[in-house]
């Protein structure tokens, strides 16, 4: 049975093998070297002993249910822990800590797959491999989840004390916090779970406090009132990463600002999307080169509906004369751009909004109104007072909370900040000096741009769940001036008493730190920092690779680099590998609203974890991946193909109990030039191909070109090993009668297959381990088996020669297909070639016959043309290699002439009809362009078919006349 593609999987049925060799199933007539048929006894024994693995000989296909058993076995054997027995530098990956509230999505599946590929590869290479897992307390997300849970019980957060609320959060975490961890395990993540961390663990919390104190002591942490992203519903500042912008329909409001001291015609029209912020206006700005407004620069404008409040009209090149009306209202308390202008020009900052999204007393009559309600009322009043010009539809770029979905408000708020510029400078130098490599390289520019233009980092959050800011204030004193920073309350009180006297009273800052602050310490806090004497810190810091999505290069990766250099003096990892986003088959971002979300858990249940992993890794680093069911289906077929190849091997290897046969089998080595040169052509070709594959794949792994490695293994296994060598080996296994040839073929089958399993294991760990365990005489589990050696010998001549044989076989197959020769029909052939080519072709006559469906007894190998050449189909396989196939063997020539004549007549009629349509002006001029184009294409195809049919008919007629 030919292994021609995904739909033609290797057959293991007795009926198939019986057709190949009926004698195979009669034991009393089977030679001693005949492939075994009862290996399932051994595999079943192993499975029953461990109750883990299943052999292809007792299972039709790989059962995905086995994945959990295999994973637990790996973990129970301690394979996930770093092993120093084989020496080498440690290979360390800190896992991006998933949110404790999270549920597995394709982003998780992507990072777990890529990181597991890395860790499994370097583990097999013999390096002590450590993948540090953990979860993030996810301040806002977790607090929201628990608040919703409490609301279902009729409880508000305000009804509880801080201690009561955090107790409920911890209870929730203990009950549900392991969900994401278990789902990550489902993907095959070979992390050292004995080192699993949580960002609120005592050790990591200690590191957070220490980091805050050290930064504060260096003057890099300060407190102040600045513009931040404010979430009115959550009542906290949020990071830029937690703000998502969406294009939404809205309005652009045009209104009049009268010029103080001028006539009724002296006014400036201003366009804004947020008229409610006008109460926070502190200036009106125009471009100094805008002639329309030059006469007003330096004067005052009257802010509408403020009972005559005046603001200066200033000139600044920042204003774009082409945008809107060319006049800009500056409300620095409610707009990031206005805020920076006000800071630059020394303008005051006016806040008109409360933290719950209502307007404050600055808004006068509108005080207490919700911001959106105030917008509508304000516009109505502007219309009534003739200060409204117009309102027109406008597409807004609306900032919304990633967690709550509400519109984020830029708001002045007192917060804690980290001064980033000195930290960023050293992080930039790390890349410049080659201490840190960013992959793909193009992201280096983005990294540099962000760090060059970095802003100070707001690190405080107005939440109850998280790391409490280690600052204590003095009762009766101003918070901005009188406070102490300490590691705990006892130390804080001692410091306060030393400074303010024994009777001093203190209270801790109610805010918590931004979740990203603790995440920035992740590569070293998980290893014991600030205790640098810890063995883990000494052995495994700095890490080797940080792998994550390119979308958090700024918010997490860069901060880790800055904090690592600051606190340890060392870049926290040598490489940053950035993967792309997972999109649907049409390239759209997955979202519930589009209904295109692909659940990885459902996908693994349907297609298997290995197929999902293999699909995700096939892309290019940093590029988004379009995930489709077609690709998953194809890779599930690849899993089945592997399984059936394993089935074929096990059915054609000696009994495990046959020690003599296995001694001969295992004694065959292919790691020397001499051993390789002695192999027959197909064996030398496939072993050489394997050795080339090992080199290419190893280089791809080392360079993190995982998509290339996956494609190289896939192509070799399917197109070389399965489609060609397994088929070729059947001539040795079933038809040769030569015991030594059979042993050689068995040795090569085993050697190539076991190395394919090794190369493929990091990508598809479950099915490869299952197959590996089914092979007899495996000393190690595949997960810890040594990686194949590189730079093994290659017989390049065998590559060229076997390619010639392949070309010949393909040519014969194509002719059989063209003439619709019945698959079971054996035909004769004359192979014409030079002496040296005939020499190696003759040795593989059985392979040629089997794979081309030729009659082995009627293959004529010759240096000259056969006498009936003019009655044969001529094939040119390669220079110096041709074949002639007698037409009479393949078809009834007279019947074929008659059939082709009828076909030609029909094709000519269709062609004439199409030409008639195209020659009609009414059709060409009036029909839609795509219809006309379609007819032209059909006519072109028909013309080509006519030409081919005529040529074949002429050829057939010539043979008849001959």
**955 and 870 share a domain?**
no
- What is the three-class DSSP state of 799? helix
Please state the rounded mean pLDDT for residues 73-89: 94
DSSP string, 861-920: EESS--TTGGGEEEEEEETTEEEEEEHHHHS-HHHHHHHHHHHHHHHHHHHHHHHHHHT-
Question: Does residue 111 sit in the same domain as residue 133?
Answer: yes
C-alpha closest to that of 256 among 305, 290, 293:
305
> pLDDT band at 879, cuts 50/70/90?
confident
Question: What span, in angstroms and rounded, lies between the C-alpha atoms of 726 and 3?
Answer: 8
- Could you tell me if residue 453 is inside a domain? no
Residue 351: which CATH number? 3.90.740.10
Strands 300-302 and 134-136: unpaired
pLDDT in tens, 903-926: 888 889 988 899 888 888 888 888
Does 435 reside within a domain? no
At 144, which CATH number?
A: 3.40.50.620
- The answer to whether position 578 is within a domain reads no
Residues 393 and 269 in one domain: yes
Q: Give dist(CA 58, CA 303) in Å, integer.
A: 84
312 and 326 part of one domain: yes
What confidence tens digit (pLDDT) does each residue in 332-368 have?
999 988 998 898 889 999 999 999 999 999 999 999 9
232 lies in some domain:
no
Q: Do residues 389 and 477 both lie within one domain?
A: no
Rounded Cα gap, residues 333 and 330, in angstroms: 9
Within this chain, do residues 499 and 375 fall inside the same structural domain, yes or no?
no
Q: Confidence band (pLDDT; 50, 70, 90) for 961? A: low
Q: What's the chain's average pLDDT?
A: 90
In a domain, 42, yes or no: no
Q: Cis peptide before 7, with omega less than 30 degrees from 0?
A: no
As a whole number of angstroms, the distance between CA 610 and CA 636 comes to: 8
| Boundary (domain end) residue, out of 767, 794, 821 | 794
| Top-confidence residue, 38 or 451 | 451
Helices vs strands, H then E, count in the chain: 34, 30
Among candidates 843, 651, 728, which has minimal Cα distance to 34?
Answer: 651
* 775/653 same-domain check: yes
**Do residue 816 and residue 885 come from a single domain?**
yes
- Please report, rounded to a whole number, the percentage of residues in the chain having pLDDT higher than 90: 70
Q: Which 3 state secondary structure label does DSSP give 856?
A: strand
User: What is the rounded average pLDDT of the residues 738-757?
Assistant: 94
Alpha carbon distance 423, 454 (integer Å): 10
In tens, the pLDDT along 568-595 reads 999 999 999 999 888 888 888 776 667 7
| Position with higher pLDDT, 481 vs 22 | 481
Q: What is the residue range of 691's domain?
A: 628-794
pLDDT tens string 17-50: 333 332 222 233 333 333 443 333 333 334 334 5
Q: Mapping DSSP to helix (H, G, I), strand (E, B) and coil, where does residue 16 land?
A: helix
Residue 17 is given by DSSP the state H
Compute the distance between CA of residue 11 and CA of residue 3 in angstroms, rounded to an integer: 9
What gap in Å lies between CA 938 and CA 960, rounded to an integer? 33
The C-alpha atoms of residue 678 and residue 268 are separated, in whole angstroms, by 93
CATH number for the domain harbouring residue 951: 1.10.287.380
Q: Where residue 747 sits, what CATH number does that domain have?
A: 1.10.730.10
Average pLDDT, integer, range 508-526: 97
* Residue 660 sits in the same domain as residue 729: yes
- The pLDDT score that the predictor gives to residue 118 is 98
960 pLDDT tier (thresholds 50, 70, 90):
low
pLDDT for res 891: 77
Same domain (yes/no): 161, 262: no
Structure confidence by residue, pLDDT tens digits, 824-863 = 999 999 999 999 999 999 999 999 999 999 999 999 999 9
Domain closes at, from 754, 771, 794: 794
Both 362 and 301 in one domain: the answer is yes
458/410 Cα distance (integer angstroms): 13
Q: What is the pLDDT of residue 23?
A: 27
Q: What is the pLDDT of residue 402?
A: 81
- Domains contained in the chain, number: 6
Phi, psi angle pair for 229, to nearest 5°: -75, 120
Angle between helices 739-760 and 765-774 (to 10 degrees): 150
State the average pLDDT over residues 215-228: 94
Is residue 93, in this structure, part of any structural domain at all? yes
pLDDT at 15 over 60: no
Structure confidence by residue, pLDDT tens digits, 768-825: 999 999 999 888 999 999 999 999 999 999 999 999 999 999 999 999 998 889 999 9
In a domain, 128, yes or no: yes
Give the full edge-to-edge strand order of the sheet including 197-198: 98-99, 134-136, 197-198
For the cut 90, the answer to whether the pLDDT of residue 380 exceeds it is yes
For residues 483-501, give the mean pLDDT.
Answer: 95
| Most distant CA pair in the chain, distance | 123
Residue from 804, 786, 864, 886 nearest 840 by CA:
804
Q: Looking at residue 28, what is its pLDDT?
A: 31
List the structure tokens of 779: 């000393």
Instruction: Provide the pLDDT confidence category of residue 241 given band limits of 50, 70 and 90.
Output: confident
Q: What is the pLDDT of residue 450?
A: 93
How confident is the model at residue 592, as a pLDDT? 64
Please say if the pLDDT value at position 867 is more than 90: no
Q: CA 30 to CA 37: how far, in whole Å?
A: 11
- Read off the pLDDT of each residue in 718-734 and give the average, rounded to a whole number: 95
Give residue 73's pLDDT band: very low, low, confident or very high (50, 70, 90). very high
The pLDDT tens digits for 264-278 are 889 999 999 999 999
Whether the CB-CB separation of 92 and 588 falls below 8 Å is answered with: no
Whether 546 is in a domain gets the answer no
d(C-alpha 52, C-alpha 47), whole Å = 6
**pLDDT band per the 50, 70, 90 thresholds, residue 618:** confident
**What is the reported pLDDT for 664?**
87
Please tell me whether residues 122 and 255 are part of one structural domain.
no
pLDDT tens readout for residues 297-339: 999 999 999 999 999 999 988 898 988 899 999 999 999 889 9
As a whole number, mean pLDDT of residues 191-213 equals: 97
For 29, phi then psi, to 5°, come to -110, 5
User: DSSP labels for 328-376?
Assistant: EEE-TTS-HHHHHHHHHHT------B-TTSBB-GGGGGGTT-BHHHHHH
Q: Residue 790 and residue 241: Cα distance in Å, rounded?
A: 44
Q: pLDDT (tens digit, 9 = 90+) per residue, 50-68?
A: 578 999 988 999 999 999 9
Strands 236-238, 221-231: parallel, antiparallel or unpaired by DSSP?
Answer: antiparallel
SS3 758: helix
Look at the alpha carbons of 835, 840, 844, 847 in this order and tell me if their dihedral is positive or negative. negative
Give the residue from 342, 376, 401 where a domain finishes.
Answer: 401
- The yes-or-no verdict on residue 145 having pLDDT over 80 is yes
């Amino acid at each position: 049975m030919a292994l021609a593609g995904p739909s033609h999987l290797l057959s293991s049925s007795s009926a198939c093998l019986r057709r190949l060799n009926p004698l195979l199933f009669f034991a009393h007539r089977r030679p001693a070297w005949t492939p075994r048929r009862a290996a399932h006894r051994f595999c079943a024994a192993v499975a029953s002993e461990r109750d883990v693995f299943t052999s292809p000989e007792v299972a039709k296909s790989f059962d995905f249910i086995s994945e959990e058993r295999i994973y637990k076995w790996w973990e129970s054997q301690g394979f996930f822990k770093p092993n120093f027995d084989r020496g080498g530098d440690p290979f360390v990956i800190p896992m991006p800590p998933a949110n404790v509230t999270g549920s597995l999505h394709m982003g998780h599946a992507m990072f777990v797959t890529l990181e597991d590929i890395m860790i499994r590869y370097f583990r097999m290479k013999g390096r002590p491999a450590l993948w540090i897992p953990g979860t993030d307390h996810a301040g806002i997300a977790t607090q929201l989840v628990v608040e919703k849970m409490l609301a279902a019980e009729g409880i508000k957060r305000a009804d509880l004390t801080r201690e009561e609320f955090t107790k409920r959060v911890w209870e929730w975490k203990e009950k549900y916090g392991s969900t994401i961890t278990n789902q990550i395990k489902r993907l095959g993540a070979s992390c050292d779970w004995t080192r699993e961390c949580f960002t609120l663990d005592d050790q990591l919390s200690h590191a957070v406090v220490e980091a805050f104190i050290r930064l504060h002591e260096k003057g890099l942490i300060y407190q102040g009132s600045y513009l931040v992203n404010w979430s009115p519903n959550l009542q906290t500042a949020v990071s830029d990463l937690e703000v998502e912008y969406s294009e939404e329909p809205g309005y652009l409001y045009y209104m009049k600002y009268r010029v103080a001291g001028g006539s009724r015609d002296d006014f400036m029209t201003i366009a804004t999307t947020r008229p409610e912020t006008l109460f926070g206006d502190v200036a009106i700005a125009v471009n100094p080169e805008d002639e329309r407004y030059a006469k007003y620069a330096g004067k005052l404008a009257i802010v509408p509906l403020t009972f005559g409040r005046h603001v200066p009209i200033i000139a600044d090149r920042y204003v774009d004369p082409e945008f809107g009306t060319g006049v800009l209202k500056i409300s620095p308390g409610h707009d990031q751009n206005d805020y920076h202008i006000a800071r630059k020009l020394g303008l005051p900052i006016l806040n008109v909004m409360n933290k719950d999204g209502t307007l404050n007393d600055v808004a006068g009559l509108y005080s207490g109104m919700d911001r959106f309600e105030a917008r509508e009322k304000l516009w109505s009043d502007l219309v009534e007072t003739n200060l409204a010009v117009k309102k027109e539809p406008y597409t807004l770029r609306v900032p919304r909370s990633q967690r709550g979905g509400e519109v984020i408000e830029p708001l002045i708020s007192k917060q804690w900040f980290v001064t980033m510029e000195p930290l960023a400078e050293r992080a930039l130098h790390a890349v410049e000096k080659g201490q840190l490599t960013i992959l793909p390289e193009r992201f280096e520019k983005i990294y540099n741009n962000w760090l060059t233009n970095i802003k100070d980092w707001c690190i405080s959050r107005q939440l109850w769940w998280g790391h409490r800011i280690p600052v204590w204030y003095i009762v009766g004193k101003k918070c901005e001036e009188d406070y102490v920073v300490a590691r705990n309350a006892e130390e804080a009180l001692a410091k306060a008493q030393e400074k303010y006297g024994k009777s001093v009273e203190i209270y801790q800052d109610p805010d918590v730190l931004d979740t990203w602050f603790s995440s920035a310490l992740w590569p070293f806090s998980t290893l014991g920092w600030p205790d640098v004497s810890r063995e883990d810190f000494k052995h495994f810091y700095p890490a080797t690779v940080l792998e994550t999505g390119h979308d958090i290069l700024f918010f997490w990766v860069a901060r880790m680099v800055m904090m690592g250099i600051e606190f340890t003096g060392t870049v926290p990892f040598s490489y940053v590998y950035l993967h792309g986003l997972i999109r649907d088959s049409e390239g759209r971002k997955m979202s519930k609203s589009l209904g295109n979300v692909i659940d990885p858990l459902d996908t693994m249940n349907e297609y298997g974890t290995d197929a999902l992993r293999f699909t995700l890794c096939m892309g290019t680093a940093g590029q988004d991946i379009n995930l489709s069911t077609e690709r998953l289906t194809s890779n599930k077929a690849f899993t089945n193909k592997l399984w059936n190849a394993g089935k074929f091997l096990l059915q054609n290897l000696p009994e495990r109990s046959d020690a003599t046969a296995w001694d001969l089998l295992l004694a065959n080595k292919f790691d020397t030039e001499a051993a390789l040169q002695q192999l027959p052509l197909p064996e030398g070709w496939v072993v050489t191909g394997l050795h080339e594959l090992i080199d290419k794949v190893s280089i791809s792994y080392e360079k993190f070109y995982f998509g290339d490695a996956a494609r190289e293994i896939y192509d070799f296994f399917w197109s070389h090993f399965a489609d060609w060598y397994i088929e070729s080996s059947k001539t040795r296994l079933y038809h040769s009668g030569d015991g030594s040839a059979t042993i050689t073929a068995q040795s090569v089958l085993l050697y190539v297959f076991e190395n394919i399993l090794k190369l493929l294991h990091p990508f598809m760990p479950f099915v490869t381990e299952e197959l590996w365990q089914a092979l007899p005489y495996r000393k190690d589990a595949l997960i810890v088996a040594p990686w194949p050696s590189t730079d093994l010998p290659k017989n390049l001549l065998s590559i060229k020669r076997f390619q010639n044989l392949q070309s010949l076989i393909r040519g014969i197959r194509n002719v059989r297909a063209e003439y619709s020769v019945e698959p079971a029909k054996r035909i004769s052939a004359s192979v014409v070639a030079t002496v040296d080519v005939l020499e190696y072709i003759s040795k593989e006559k059985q392979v040629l016959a089997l794979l081309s469906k030729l009659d082995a007894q009627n293959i004529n190998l010759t240096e000259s043309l056969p006498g009936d050449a003019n009655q044969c189909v001529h094939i040119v396989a390669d220079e110096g290699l041709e074949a002639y196939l007698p037409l009479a063997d393949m078809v009834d020539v007279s019947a074929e002439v008659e059939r082709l004549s009828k076909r030609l007549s029909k094709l000519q009629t269709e062609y004439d009809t199409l030409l008639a349509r195209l020659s009609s002006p009414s059709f060409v001029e009036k029909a839609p362009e795509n219809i006309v184009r379609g007819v032209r294409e059909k006519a072109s195809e028909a013309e080509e078919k006519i030409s081919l049919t005529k040529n074949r008919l002429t050829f057939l007629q010539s043979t008849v006349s001959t």
